[in-house]
Structure 1
Amino acid sequence: MVPGYTGYIPKHEDHFGTRYAENCKNAIDDFARDMNTSKDRRKQLTRQPPKTPVRVEAKPYVSLNQVQHSVSPYFMNINNPAKTFMPGYTGFIPRARSRFAMDYPNLTREALVDFTQRQQHLKKLDKKPVVLNQQCEKSNASSPGCKQAIYINGGLLPHYTGYLPGHKFRFGDTFGTSSRYFHAAANRRSTTAY
């Protein structure tokens, strides 16, 4: 190498204490020697017969020290005493925020039982039809006096993501005030229509 060369020279950091040209020659010789030995090693590895696996798939690991749960606590029966999370579990536990002053197993058990009961109740309600007005269901629903209101009195909640007719043309008000205007206008139209 010409003195003053600023490019990379492999293995140059291992050689020092002599002139630049001599350090560079020794470094390049070391690099060439390492390349030749790695080529020889690769040739030896390719000459060996291919390895055959002992098994097609690994055996499943079963710990001898820990009890294995086959059912998640979410799906266990309400009367099952094991319907709880193990102490140290840091994941989300539904319905547990409002419970205080209990030990962890009882707290999680009570929260999971409450969650399971609510889910079962929602499954029962899922099959029932939605009734907007109880009086309309008892009487003839097609009568003119039977109005089925969709929007409740007052403004809607700020994070309501449903459709609010005409809302995109109103501006300069808060969401609640703007939705109150819609509700008042809808009531005026429904009373004048009959």
Structure 2
Amino acid sequence: MTTVAFGGGPNLDQRRSFAALRDGTHVPGYRGYCPQIKYRVGKTYGTDTHELAQDTIHLQPASVLASAPEGLRTTKNVLPMATGDNKYTEKMIPGYTGYIPRMPFKFGNTYKEDCDFCIDEYMTNRKFNDTKTMDLKRQVAGYPRLTAISHDPEVRDKLNLYRDTHPNRPILMDDKRALTEPPVPGYRGYIPRIKTTEMGLGARYNRTTKRGLEMFAQETAASAQRITGTLPASIERVPTDVLQGSQGDSSKRLYLTDGMIPKYTGYVPQRRFAFGNTYGDTTRGLEVCAHPLNSFGDFKRSRTSVM
């Protein structure tokens, strides 16, 4: 190693004397950021950077070869020694391709100097955050634990009084929800039949989920009766009209036999491949609208069974 960082080769003053660089001058070919350089034309790169350094007297000269002021880059921590397993050490060598915190924002120094400063800054911030975390844990541990409100005798007495005066009304979530009761809008869980059938089209969330749950309860009850001849316990509370099925819901078709209304913006299968007719005539001639059954799924199943 004959670099300046490791004590070999000429020092900075000797290099500046050899290159005859004036104060604040960048070496031509420097790719770092130089303020206001893009607004100057007509002079060499060295002259422009020298004049910019003289004009911007309130800033430090931005030269690559300029040495850092005393105390500006002193490290606060003892950087870790290399053990073969640790990542950030005191002797980072050029060519290391791993990530170093804050390294992309450092310019104008040797690789080792920037590495040492970034590692020191990272260790300082980590120690500060660890101290804050430990202080917070100690504060939380020092406070008394909260007592559950159910242990309060006043709450217990009021709940007992409510139960005595309202024997038929549930307290909190004492009773289970009905099987076909729709969930609250915003519920992200799975609702059967609303995405695989026509039950989930063209209605509000409350109505869509109610129809999907009722259809699922109907199919479950029908399967249970077909297998065992009796209803399962979870289906016995479902209203009779749900178990028997609602003709209005199950026979409601999305694609009507008399065609779709013009300006309908939904998807119509095979519509994009039909030309030369009005929208109504085109949709009436499509298979999805022309079949006589309750839904297109039933029509497809009937054709499959025939084949």
| TM-score by shorter chain over 0.5 | no
Give the number of the structure with larger relative contact order, counting CA–CA contacts within 8 Å between residues 6 or more apart.
Answer: 1
Normalized against structure 2, the TM-score is what? 0.22
Normalized against structure 1, the TM-score is what? 0.32
